[in-house]
């Protein structure tokens, strides 16, 4: 019985230490030329929907553009492989505006500053392992 209580005690201590040190992903967004509209950040944990379908993202945030460089933080991110997409919704209409061919009309960027060839960047090129708190930098163009 003593081992049972010791196990419960250790599990509680371990849980408290995790809750006191949440894993934080900080996304530094650079290249904001016009300080207007919103910055939209989406974190994907698989290739489905990346980077063009925000509804498929695991985590999302929308923040008002207030400076030419901004930091957006996500707390309690799970250990996994992720990729991040960012766009500036200059007209605050809640979506990425594109032209007739699907080319973005608003500034966009993804993790690893990956670039696409004849289309958006791939999850494979933008992904990275998230296992501890980390800051990444993405330049939007």
In this predicted model, what pLDDT tens digit does every residue of 16-59 receive, in sequence order?
444 457 899 999 999 999 999 999 999 999 999 999 999 999 99
β-bridge mates for residue 83, sequence order: 44
Per-residue pLDDT band for 1 (boundaries 50, 70, 90) equals: low
pLDDT of residue 15: 52
pLDDT above 90 coverage of the chain, percent:
84
Domain at 23-139: CATH code:
2.60.40
Q: Where are the domains of the chain?
A: 23-139
CA dist 14 and 4 (Å) reads 15
The model's pTM is 0.85
- The residue among 65, 68, 45, 40 whose CA lies nearest residue 56 is 45
CA dist 70 and 26 (Å) reads 10
- Cis amide prior to 51 (ω within 30 degrees): yes
The total of other beta-carbon atoms located within 10 Å of residue 8's CB is: 10
Q: Which two tokens stand for residue 80?
A: 């996994």
């Amino acid at each position: 019985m003593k081992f049972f209580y010791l196990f419960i005690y250790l599990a509680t201590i371990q849980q408290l230490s995790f809750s006191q040190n949440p894993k934080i992903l900080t996304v530094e967004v650079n290249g904001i030329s016009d300080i207007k509209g919103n910055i939209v950040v989406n974190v994907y944990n698989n290739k489905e929907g990346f980077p063009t379908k925000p509804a498929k993202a695991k985590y999302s945030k929308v923040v008002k553009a207030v400076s030419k460089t901004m930091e957006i933080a996500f707390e309690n991110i799970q250990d996994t492989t992720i990729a991040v997409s960012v766009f500036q919704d200059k007209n605050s209409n809640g979506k990425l505006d594109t032209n007739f061919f699907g080319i973005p009309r608003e500034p966009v960027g993804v993790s690893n500053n990956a670039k696409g060839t004849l289309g958006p960047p791939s999850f494979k090129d933008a992904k990275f392992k998230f296992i501890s708190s980390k800051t990444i930098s993405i330049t939007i163009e």
